[in-house]
A = this chain, B = another copy of it.
């Protein structure tokens, strides 16, 4: 069975086809009326005249309401003046179901109202564009790794231990035990790298962030590659190639959507390797030069990140952070014991951190000492330490937060529009 979708209109110009969708807008003008038909892949202007359409179809103009479902049969032709570049001369309209008065109108609604109606708001042109760009970003992520000898290793959501801090954990009863929802798949990813060489995991992760910010969701998707025999430099090489590929795929496949969002694409076209690489210490100097009262050893805040990233027209990679502000599993810098071989990538235009990663500690003694510093025991990380007991190996990896990347590439003000049904501290429904 052949299907016709508006996004493929170019392929069926001149054919008589049936499009299936919803009334996005209706405009009447005497003996002719125009139906903007939305089918989820695009919008088609359907021209309905009493000459070309049958009587019942033409008469629908007085009945059809916004978001009513309808089948429209007609001939498609190129029409540069129409939205999307095509229009349909309608022969027949079949109303599937009339819609009650649609709660979302052209007028400004408050964000809470729109979020309460997220299931309907997704039908709007702008939200449609964002989610389709999200799709392309996710496809680019998987294609990138699939084409480079990575194996997909899905890591568990239910975990027994906390990796990124107990303050932000979601817990659930698990047959008499306590299970925590994954904040990261990394430790499991390291086991995967020992078994498969280069791996990635990609799934939802959870952090009970109590802060209400433009950059945080409680449920967000993260991709985490982990590579055996990669050092920090190779990690950075991969990270910049990866982000460049994602941006290029969006530019190649989602120009109309970027236009809908009025995104300045010249900013995206600038995203080319190599990315600038600066050490944390150099980052501190940039802040101090810009008048920020910042001491070596402090962690960068959102404002600090913006100042650093605004020095560059593409993402900047900051490496070698103070050990004290980074996670226990990061490898000590062989040249400076106060530092770890960490890597953060900051997006341009003030969008903040999109990647966090590191080379991992492969020396079991140093690792155990870091674990004890954190107040944990060897026993807590028994299986993880096995990866150092049985053929320890240099390895590196990073995590990229999908919604942050969508926010940046789409040029959005707030992360809540980057996922179909966002979850925040005050939002669990719909």
| Residues of chain B with a CB closer than 8 A to A204's CB | 154, 157, 203-204
Partner of A237, one of B1, B158, B423: B1
Choose the segment among A190-198, A295-303, A317-325 that binds chain B (4+ C-beta atoms closer than 8 Å).
A190-198
Asked if B197 and A99 make an inter-chain contact with CB atoms under 8 angstroms apart, the answer reads: no
Instruction: Provide the bound-state CA to CA distance between A70 and B132, in Å.
Output: 45
Q: Report whether over half of chain A's contact residues are helix, strand or loop; otherwise say mixed.
A: mixed
Does A188 have its Cβ within 8 Å of any Cβ on chain B? yes
* Closest beta carbon of chain B to A293's beta carbon, Å: 34
Partner of A128, one of B67, B139, B196, B430: B196
**Contact mask for chain A residues 380-398; partner B; CB cutoff 8 A; 1 contact, 0 none:** 0001101111111110000
| Residues of chain B with a CB closer than 8 A to A170's CB | 172-174
**Contact mask for chain A residues 74-101; partner B; CB cutoff 8 A; 1 contact, 0 none:** 0000000000000000000000110110
Asked if B97 and A160 make an inter-chain contact with CB atoms under 8 angstroms apart, the answer reads: no
| Residues of chain A at interface, number, CB under 8 A | 99
Which single residue of chain B is at the shortest CB-CB distance from A199?
B40
Partner of A196, one of B41, B155, B181, B197: B41
Asked if B428 and A179 make an inter-chain contact with CB atoms under 8 angstroms apart, the answer reads: yes
Instruction: Provide the bound-state CA to CA distance between A198 and B132, in Å.
Output: 12
Quick one: which of A115-157 are within 8 Å of B by CB?
117, 119-120, 122-123, 127-128, 131-132, 134-135, 138-139, 142, 146, 149, 151-157
Q: Count identical subunits in the complex.
A: 2
Between A and B, 26 residue pairs with Cβ closer than 8 Å are A5-B149, A8-B149, A21-B197, A22-B393, A40-B197, A41-B196, A100-B390, A117-B383, A117-B386, A119-B188, A120-B386, A122-B191, A123-B194, A128-B195, A134-B154, A153-B420, A154-B221, A155-B420, A159-B428, A160-B429, A160-B430, A170-B174, A172-B172, A172-B181, A175-B426, A191-B430
A contacts, CB < 8 Å to B: 1, 3, 5, 7-8, 20-23, 39-41, 67-69, 71, 96-97, 99-100, 102-103, 117, 119-120, 122-123, 127-128, 131-132, 134-135, 138-139, 142, 146, 149, 151-160, 170-175, 177, 179, 181, 188, 191-198, 203-204, 206, 208, 210, 218-219, 221, 228-229, 234, 237, 362, 383-384, 386-394, 419-421, 423, 425-426, 428-430
